[in-house]
Amino acid sequence: MTDTDTDPPETSFLEVSDVVERAVAAAPRWRMLDPVTRAGILRAVADRLDGADDELVALAITESHLTETRLRGELFRTTFQLRFLAGVIEEGDYLQACVDTPDELWPPGARPDLRRFLRPLGPVVVFAASNFPFAFSVAGGDSASALAAGCPVVLKAHPGHRQLSARSGEIVCGALHDAGAPDGTFTVVEGDEAGRALITHPGISAVAFTGSAKVGRMLFDIAVGRPKPIPFYGELGSVNPVFVTMRAAAARLDEILSGYVASFTLGAGQFCTQPGVLLLPEGLLDRDRMRSLVGAQPATHLLNDRIDGTYQEGLEALRHRPTVELIAEGSRQPDGARTPTLLRTSVGGLVSDSEHLLAECFGPVSLIAEYDEEAQLIEVAEMLEGQLTATIHGELDDAVVPGLLDTLAEKAGRIIWNGWPTALAVTWAIQHGGPYPATTSPLHTSVGAAAIGRFLRPVAYQGVPDHLLPAALRDANRLHLPRRVDGQYRTGSPPA
């Protein structure tokens, strides 16, 4: 974490009020732009960020200790996401437009003309994360999906990359302004107190947050404790368990363990999808081999001193739990860089000490739990708390797999087969969410096409004359939206 004289100052309460008032004033103008216009503006933002890639990546390297390769990839992902969501709103199904024409015979009484679609909720506060200075920060997924939905965004910058946040904010604001978005559509604010003040402000309609369970729950409690509670979409973290069946281990142990080490050490283990626990059949673990695999990983700095300190504490606590054995001991080098740590326990140890061993430890450490019988995989799956992901390495006809899949689908937002959770594609079908404590809102995702839905609410119009309806619901359907008409889905293709 840098904290220099040139860092942006914390936002005062007075400024918070002003920022929200500007967002409230921008809301009707931003939401009234049709989706195609808003999509064009999102693409303009993406172009401007891409155009500043060298400058932004250089700032990010200074503030995050992440590698240039990683950061360039992450910025690419971030601008791709803006363009992908632009395409999603252009397609228009996100509005869930629905038309019921009048029906005299509708039971239990004549049905009037009813038309329903989704409207933007209003100004959204986004709390940026530390671990993805682009993809989950200023111009990241939460901002992109709220803007795509038609909501102004007040972005609470993460203190881990303040210069980058300020500069990214300038670029986003400049691009929005030049492309015709109303003033107040996007603002970056600084400071935890400003963040809390934002959540309680009556002008704010929803909150999106990515960060720790402790902070996330504290902010969630503020949001739902307001006189007028508002939706709080918090992604709080996960241990992302990996289950290796006996036959998968027999068939390709080396491949699985190499993949595991690569995944849990990726980005110094600072991924919300990092595999924190791997369940492996007993007796297969070659300690020397694992030490050498883990030892071959480069030393890396964690994102900042605070995270490094929290990791150190968590690591110390974890490795001294009664059943935990140290397999590969990471070190902290004189310059502060760290090498990864691998721990081991038995499935019995995991189950009896689950509160500590199935808790997220943010950083380059993971735990292998050895099991005797595959039935224990189900036992562990059943005791899991909500997870962002759960992974199975198995063979096609493993007897344990169907039951395991079904149990894991109750616990996790994404189930991965013979892969690793740290890869997270931005697509239509992706899900990045899960039951509490993975997130505070199990119905939603913070990545992918469906992320937009968090910031929309339905409104129905009954008997409203065509010319007074929003364009999305008029007979002419000039936006070419797919719509459900009298229960039948119709594509939005222009009439032939």
Active site residues: 235, 272
**Angstrom distance (rounded) from CA 75 to CA 54:** 10
Choice from 8, 34, 40, 111 touching a copy of itself (CB under 8 A) = 111
* Residue closer to a copy of itself (CB basis): 30 or 311: 30
Compute the Cα dihedral for 345, 346, 347, 352 and give only its sign: negative
- 104 within 8 A of 34, measured Cβ to Cβ: no
Question: What x/- string results for residues 1 through 40 when contact with a copy of itself is judged by CB under 8 A?
Answer: ---------------------------x------------
Q: Of 47-55, 192-200, 217-225, 304-312, which part binds a copy of itself (CB under 8 A)? A: 217-225
User: Count residues contacting a copy of itself (CB under 8 A)?
Assistant: 88
Compute the Cα dihedral for 218, 222, 223, 224 and give only its sign: positive
Q: Of 100-108, 157-165, 189-197, 265-273, which part binds a copy of itself (CB under 8 A)? A: 100-108
Residues 388-407 that bind a copy of itself (CB under 8 A): 396, 401-402, 405-406
Q: Name the token pair of 189.
A: 């604010």
Please state the closest distance from residue 218 (CB atom) to a copy of itself, in A.
Answer: 13
Closest CA to 158 of 184, 188, 185: 188
Please state the closest distance from residue 329 (CB atom) to a copy of itself, in A.
Answer: 32
Q: Of 273-281, 293-301, 376-384, 486-494, which part binds a copy of itself (CB under 8 A)? A: 486-494
**Angstrom distance (rounded) from CA 288 to CA 61:** 34
Residues 61-80 that bind a copy of itself (CB under 8 A): 73, 76-77, 80
Backbone angles phi, psi at 341, to 5 degrees: -120, 140
* Residue closer to a copy of itself (CB basis): 122 or 281: 122
Mapped onto helix, strand or coil, the DSSP state of residue 254 is helix
Choice from 132, 134, 220, 260 touching a copy of itself (CB under 8 A) = 220
Choice from 68, 333, 417, 478 touching a copy of itself (CB under 8 A) = 417
* Residue closer to a copy of itself (CB basis): 192 or 406: 406
* Residue closer to a copy of itself (CB basis): 226 or 291: 226
Helix axes 53-64, 68-91, angle to 10 degrees: 120
Q: Of 37-45, 147-155, 162-170, 225-233, which part binds a copy of itself (CB under 8 A)? A: 225-233
Please state the closest distance from residue 335 (CB atom) to a copy of itself, in A.
Answer: 30
- 363 within 8 A of 297, measured Cβ to Cβ: no
* Residue closer to a copy of itself (CB basis): 112 or 298: 112
Angle made by CA atoms 12, 14, 20, in degrees to the nearest 5:
100
Longest pairwise C-alpha distance within the chain: 80
Long-range contacts of 23-26 (CB under 8 A, 24+ apart): 23/123, 23/152, 23/153, 23/154, 23/184, 23/185, 23/187, 23/203, 23/204, 24/122, 24/123, 24/152, 24/184, 24/203, 25/182, 25/183, 25/184, 26/123, 26/152, 26/181, 26/182, 26/183, 26/184, 26/185
Closest CA to 416 of 182, 244, 199, 186: 244
Residues 80-99 that bind a copy of itself (CB under 8 A): 80, 87, 91, 93, 96, 98-99
Does the footprint of a copy of itself cover residue 423 (CB under 8 A)?
Answer: yes
Q: Kind of pairing, strands 98-100 and 114-120?
A: antiparallel
Q: Of 63-71, 220-228, 318-326, 371-379, which part binds a copy of itself (CB under 8 A)? A: 220-228
Beta-carbon-side half-sphere exposure of residue 225 (alpha carbons within 13 Å): 7
Residues 227-266 that bind a copy of itself (CB under 8 A): 228-231
* Residue closer to a copy of itself (CB basis): 8 or 87: 87
Does the footprint of a copy of itself cover residue 122 (CB under 8 A)?
Answer: yes
Instruction: State the residue for tokens 């992974």.
Output: 391
Cα distances from 132 to residues 2, 165, 268, 322, in angstroms, run: 16, 11, 12, 34
**Angstrom distance (rounded) from CA 351 to CA 279:** 12
Please state the closest distance from residue 191 (CB atom) to a copy of itself, in A.
Answer: 26
Residues 134-153 that bind a copy of itself (CB under 8 A): none
Choice from 107, 283, 322, 495 touching a copy of itself (CB under 8 A) = 107
Does the footprint of a copy of itself cover residue 419 (CB under 8 A)?
Answer: yes
How many other C-beta atoms are found inside a 10 Å radius of the C-beta of residue 15? 17
Q: Of 146-154, 223-231, 300-308, 345-353, which part binds a copy of itself (CB under 8 A)? A: 223-231
Please state the closest distance from residue 301 (CB atom) to a copy of itself, in A.
Answer: 24
Residues 429-468 that bind a copy of itself (CB under 8 A): 429-431, 433, 435-437, 440-445, 450, 453-454, 456-465, 467-468
What amino acid occupies position 38? R
Mapped onto helix, strand or coil, the DSSP state of residue 330 is coil
Please state the closest distance from residue 249 (CB atom) to a copy of itself, in A.
Answer: 18
